[in-house]
């Protein structure tokens, strides 16, 4: 919306409130301070029931019966090599050391890190592959634990993106555009569906790190963009207090905090009436969410009470705060509590050099815990209505970066890469899409990252074409203005 039009609209609303004695404004403020009032006669039965049914989401959503109540997105930041993990190609044994044909590269745009290379030799995987599960899925020796759950997951080998560098690529898959400024997927879901737990945010983020190249992660990747600010992701810290300043200061009781927030809310409401800034409403909402989180967030984030068999399931790192394994346990606890979208970023997958050692370390960080999460959700009866997604922003090239295969790496590759999904009506044990013998181009069933995002929304009961927000004269969408389709073949 044009800022001047928006300001004029707010002014008109303020005049209406003035003429009606601020009755509607008082009701809205009351529901922020005390959500229980939503169902009271203050708002009337029709409005109250609509608000409470969506817990802050949009009327009419979900568009249809959802298969998933929540999403846990395991994001491998930096771009895992599909060649060394999932996309088994026996032909690379014979092609190893040969120059990648120009007909395969086909004028592909490459990064500045390999644009100066005079030669592009093919490098086979450094690791053995073997078949697993009743489906007979080929899996790298790097992922022995995930190999144990292949009958529960769908492996998509034909993912693709136009982006060739990290920042535009990770921005693209998380927000639907390569340019910064748009809302993240989690923010869209918070805006559209609201929260299933009024004491917790709809969108929570956790970050862990491996030993590889650590590409920057900006908070805008879980930001709200042009959506109201209360829909941005809340990032939990890996050590110490998971959220700073959540605990009351020494000598301040919960009743004291409540009294302070009540007074502050009235001041903010008065400021909103004067200036019409929608961010003031977001500020009030966030203060109230923080107050409600005090009662539930500390317990949810504390995994010390988990039984011994859970730590054994997730692996030895699960006892160490801030690790990927520990974050996976937190993710399951948050999912149980009703958090809508939980996203775990694990950094370090950018292996331009020393790939053989670096990717082994990265897989060791995430393999057992990723598989454990699927098993844990399944044994609790939660996998049926929880969507688990595992993948990065792109894959890696089959050609070598550097001069020696043993210490060399692989460059960025967006033409094809692998993602897997599980739960929420996803067919287990299937493989979707295929690539050529060089692991370089897609042969069938391409899945663009827009298609992946449309499919995730579908599992939550959302038609991606109908979840929109008018901004700068356009009805903006997570999947953008270009065509995106839901991958129906992945569903049971």
Per-residue confidence (pLDDT) for residue 155, from 0 to 100: 98
Q: Nearest Cα to 199, choosing from 8, 343, 36?
A: 36
387 neighbors 424 (Cβ within 8 angstroms): yes
**CA distance readout (Å), 193 to 1, 58, 66, 436, 455:** 22, 6, 11, 40, 16
Q: Determine how β-strand 153-160 pairs with β-strand 447-448.
A: parallel
- Cα three-residue angle 254-28-38, rounded to 5 degrees: 75
Query: What contacts 246, CB < 8 A, 6 or more positions away?
Result: 290, 293, 294, 297, 298
Q: Determine how β-strand 137-140 pairs with β-strand 129-132.
A: antiparallel
SS (H, E, C) the chain: CCHHHHHHHHHHHHHHHHHCCCHHHHHHHHHHHCHHHHHCCCCCHHHHHHHHHHCECCCCCCCCCCCCCEEEEEEEECCCCHHHCCCCCCCHHHHCCCECCHHHHCCCCCCCCCCCCCCCEECCCCCCEEEECCCCEEEECCCHHHHCCHHHEEEEEEEECCCCCHHHHHHHHHHCCCCCCCCCHHHHHHHHHECCCCCCCCEEEEEEECCCCCCCCCHHHHCCCCCCHHHCCEEECCCCCCCCCCCCCCCCCHHHHHHHHHHHHHHHHHHHHHHCCHHHHHHHHHHHHHHHHCCCHHHHHCCCCCCHHHHHHHCHHHHCCCCHHHHHHHHHHHHHHCCCEEEEEEECCCCCECHHHHHHHHHHHHHHHHHHHHHHHHHCCCHHHEEEEEECCCEEEEEEECCCCCCEEEEEECCCEEEEEECCCECCCEEECEECCCCCCEEECCEEHHHHHHHHHHHCCCCCCCCCEEECCEEECCCCCCCCCCCHHHEC
User: Tokens at residue 192, please?
Assistant: 């559209």
How far apart are alpha carbons 461 and 449 in whole angstroms? 19
Per-residue confidence (pLDDT) for residue 40, from 0 to 100: 33
Q: Could you tell me the end-to-end alpha-carbon distance of the chain, in angstroms, rounded to an integer?
A: 40
Q: Nearest Cα to 193, choosing from 286, 344, 59?
A: 59
Predicted TM-score (pTM) of the model is 0.85
Segments making up each domain of the chain, as ranges = 3-54+259-275, 70-247+294-490
How far apart are alpha carbons 116 and 231 in whole angstroms? 43
How far apart are alpha carbons 124 and 357 in whole angstroms? 15
Per-residue confidence (pLDDT) for residue 20, from 0 to 100: 41
Per-residue confidence (pLDDT) for residue 24, from 0 to 100: 39
Other CB atoms within a 10 A radius of the CB of residue 116 amount to 6
Per-residue confidence (pLDDT) for residue 39, from 0 to 100: 38
298 neighbors 246 (Cβ within 8 angstroms): yes
How far apart are alpha carbons 236 and 222 in whole angstroms? 12
CATH homologous superfamily for the domain 70-247+294-490: Alkaline Phosphatase, subunit A (3.40.720.10)
Beta bridge partners of 72: 342, 388
191 neighbors 236 (Cβ within 8 angstroms): no
Query: What contacts 6, CB < 8 A, 6 or more positions away?
Result: 278
Q: Residue 442 phi/psi, 5° resolution?
A: -85, 135
Per-residue confidence (pLDDT) for residue 114, from 0 to 100: 85
Per-residue confidence (pLDDT) for residue 341, from 0 to 100: 98
98 neighbors 399 (Cβ within 8 angstroms): no
169 neighbors 393 (Cβ within 8 angstroms): yes
Residues in the chain: 492
pLDDT, block means (10 residues), the chain with 492 residues: 51 45 43 44 32 68 98 97 98 95 88 85 96 98 98 98 96 97 98 92 95 87 95 89 73 78 81 79 73 73 92 97 97 96 97 94 98 98 98 96 81 97 98 97 98 98 97 95 94 98
Per-residue confidence (pLDDT) for residue 460, from 0 to 100: 98
How far apart are alpha carbons 177 and 444 in whole angstroms? 25
How far apart are alpha carbons 267 and 273 in whole angstroms? 10
80 neighbors 351 (Cβ within 8 angstroms): no
291 neighbors 33 (Cβ within 8 angstroms): no
Instruction: Write the burial class of residue 155 (CB in 10 Å: 0-12 exposed, 13-18 middle, 19+ buried).
Output: buried
């Amino acid at each position: 919306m044009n800022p001047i039009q928006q300001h004029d609209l707010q002014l008109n609303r303020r005049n209406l409130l003035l003429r009606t004695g601020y009755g509607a404004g008082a009701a809205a403020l009351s529901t922020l301070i005390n959500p229980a009032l939503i169902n009271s006669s203050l708002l009337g039965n029709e409005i109250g029931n609509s608000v409470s049914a969506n817990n802050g989401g949009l009327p009419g959503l979900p568009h249809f019966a959802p298969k998933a109540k929540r999403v846990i997105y395991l994001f491998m930041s930096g771009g895992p090599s599909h060649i060394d993990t999932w996309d088994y190609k026996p032909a690379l044994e014979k092609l190893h050391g040969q120059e990648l044909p120009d007909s395969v590269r086909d004028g592909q745009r490459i990064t500045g890190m390999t644009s100066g290379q005079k030669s592009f030799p093919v490098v086979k995987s450094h690791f053995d592959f073997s078949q697993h599960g009743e489906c007979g899925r080929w899996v790298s020796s790097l992922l022995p634990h995930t190999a144990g759950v292949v009958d529960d997951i769908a492996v998509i080998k034909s993912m693709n993106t136009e982006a060739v560098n990290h920042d535009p690529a990770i921005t693209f898959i998380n927000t639907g555009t390569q340019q910064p400024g748009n809302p993240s997927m989690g923010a869209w879901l918070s805006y559209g569906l609201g929260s299933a737990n009024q004491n917790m945010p709809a969108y929570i983020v956790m970050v862990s790190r491996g030993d590889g190249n650590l590409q920057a992660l900006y908070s805008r990747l879980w930001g709200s963009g042009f959506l109201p600010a209360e829909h941005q992701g809340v990032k939990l810290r890996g050590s110490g207090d998971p959220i700073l300043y959540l605990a009351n200061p020494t000598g301040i009781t919960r009743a004291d905090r409540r009294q302070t927030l009540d007074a502050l809310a009235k001041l903010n409401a008065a400021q909103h009436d004067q200036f019409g800034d929608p961010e003031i409403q977001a500020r009030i909402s966030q203060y109230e969410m923080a107050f409600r989180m005090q009662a539930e967030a500390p317990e949810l984030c504390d995994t010390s009470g988990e039984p011994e068999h859970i730590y054994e399931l997730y692996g030895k790192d699960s006892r160490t705060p801030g690790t990927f394994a520990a974050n996976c346990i937190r993710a399951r606890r948050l999912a149980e509590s009703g958090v809508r979208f939980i996203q775990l970023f694990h950094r370090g997958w950018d292996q331009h050099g020393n790939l053989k050692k670096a990717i082994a370390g990265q897989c060791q960080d995430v393999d057992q815990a990723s598989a454990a999460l699927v098993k844990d959700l399944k044994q609790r009866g939660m996998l049926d209505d929880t969507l688990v997604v595992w993948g990065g922003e792109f894959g890696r090239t089959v050609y070598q970066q550097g001069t020696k295969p043993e210490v060399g790496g692989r460059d960025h590759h967006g033409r094809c890469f692998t993602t897997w999904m599980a739960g929420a009506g996803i067919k287990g044990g299937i493989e979707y899409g295929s690539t050529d013998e060089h692991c370089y181009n897609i042969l069938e069933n391409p899945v663009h990252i827009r298609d992946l995002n449309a499919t995730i929304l579908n599992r939550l009961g959302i038609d991606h074409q109908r979840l929109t927000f008018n901004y700068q004269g356009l009805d903006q969408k997570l999947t953008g203005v270009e065509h995106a389709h839901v991958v129906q073949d992945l569903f049971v």
